[in-house]
Amino acid sequence: MKPAPPVSVVTGAAGFLGSHLTDLLLARGHRVIGIDNFITGSRANLSHLRRHRAFRLIKQDICRPIRIGGPVHYVWNLASPASPIDYLQIPIETLKVGAFGTYQTLELARRKRARFLTASTSEVYGDPLVHPQPETYWGNVNPIGPRGCYDESKRFAEALVMAYHRSHQLETRLVRIFNTYGPRMRLDDGRVVPAFVSQALTGKPITIFGTGKQTRSFCYVSDLIDGIYRLMMSEHHLPVNLGNPREMTMLQFARVILKATCARSRISFKPLPQDDPKQRRPDIRKARQLLRWQPKVSLEQGIAETIAYFRRRV
């Protein structure tokens, strides 16, 4: 008799990352139960799965108890606002999903004896004083600043996950995600890739905050999702950075977008927002060693795919 497929619960399934993870899990033979309350997620991201036999979508706020019948083998907690526009508009909801949402998903995993992964973020490092950022760095975070609602929700979530690991011997995984981009990001997301691409495609000025010398590194979504899957299937319970270590300034990145879109947009400079990190690059030595993972998609290839997606939506 053929063994039953593994069952995965994905919270934030209608979001940018959650929908891509759902696709990967289905392709690898999982039954997937997606959960989303659609505050920032979109049903359009899952429309291609409407008739998929192995996929079920539940509309629910994960800050409430999660009731699912039958076995669950994996819980992937990706639910959270993730762009500055979102978490600055809904700071309380952002804090609640990091705290109560993580608690409820951990409780689900505990009851089902499932393996659990939560999506943390490079924002736990704040405006870093160590560069690049290794998992051993504790960060430089302003807990009462405007970004604190997101940073601290993720830091609390990490602490809660480790408490469940130690107190309940729950199999847990922690991924710290650095800037990721690709199809299914929202045009009004507010993060730098959709902002620059949408501005270039519509002929608007490309907005750079500060001098443009602050740095970021960009990982294409398929690379990130592959890393997340590898981490869940590994035996490592401590945080692991996933991201692309190729670093560039915002001014350099704006020129990449202008060249790729053939746009003639001018560059406009605005004041740097409070607590905006001045540099950000992951140290991925642990991911390379433990997961045999590193990014494969070049920035040029990934940006081309992303621009093609956005061209159909502007």
Domain ranges of the chain: 7-181+220-244+282-295
pLDDT at 3: 82
Both tokens of 181, joined, read 């981009």
132 upstream amide cis, omega within 30 of 0: yes
**Per-residue pLDDT at 6 exceeds 80:** yes
Both tokens of 194, joined, read 């959709």
pLDDT tens track for 225-266? 999 999 999 999 999 999 999 999 999 999 999 999 999 999
Task: Look at the chain and count its residues.
Answer: 314
What φ, ψ does residue 176 adopt, rounded to 5°? -100, 110
Both tokens of 72, joined, read 């669950």
Angle between helix 16-27 and helix 221-232 axes, rounded to 10 deg:
60
Q: Which residues pair with 75 in a beta bridge?
A: 9, 116
| 166-185: burial string, b at 16+ Cβ within 10 Å, e else | eeeebbbbbbbbbbbbbbbb
pLDDT at 69: 96
pLDDT tens track for 38-51? 999 999 999 999 99
pLDDT at 299: 96
Q: What percent of the chain has pLDDT over 90?
A: 90
Task: State the catalytic residues.
Answer: 150
pLDDT at 105: 98
Weakest-pLDDT range from 40-44, 159-163, 277-281 = 277-281
Q: Are strands 215-217 and 247-249 parallel, antiparallel or unpaired?
A: antiparallel
> Mean pLDDT throughout 39-66?
97
CB 99 within 8 A of CB 157: yes
**Nearest C-alpha neighbor of 67 from the set 39, 38, 105, 103:** 105
pLDDT tens track for 73-119? 999 999 999 988 898 899 999 999 999 999 999 999 999 999 999 99
Residue 222 CA, chain-centre distance (Å), reads: 12
**Per-residue pLDDT at 176 exceeds 90:** yes
pLDDT at 240: 98
- What does pLDDT average to over the chain? 95
Question: Band of the pLDDT at 2, cuts 50, 70, 90?
Answer: confident
pLDDT at 142: 94
pLDDT at 273: 81
Looking at 2.60.40.420, 3.40.190.10, 2.60.120.10, 3.40.50.720, the CATH number of the domain 7-181+220-244+282-295 comes to 3.40.50.720
**DSSP letters for 156-199:** HHHHHHHHHHHHH---EEEEEE--EE-TT--TT--SHHHHHHHH
Q: What is the pTM of this model?
A: 0.96
Weakest-pLDDT range from 159-173, 210-224, 265-279 = 265-279
Residue 173 CA, chain-centre distance (Å), reads: 15
CB 33 within 8 A of CB 8: yes
What φ, ψ does residue 148 adopt, rounded to 5°? -60, -30
3-state secondary structure of 257: helix
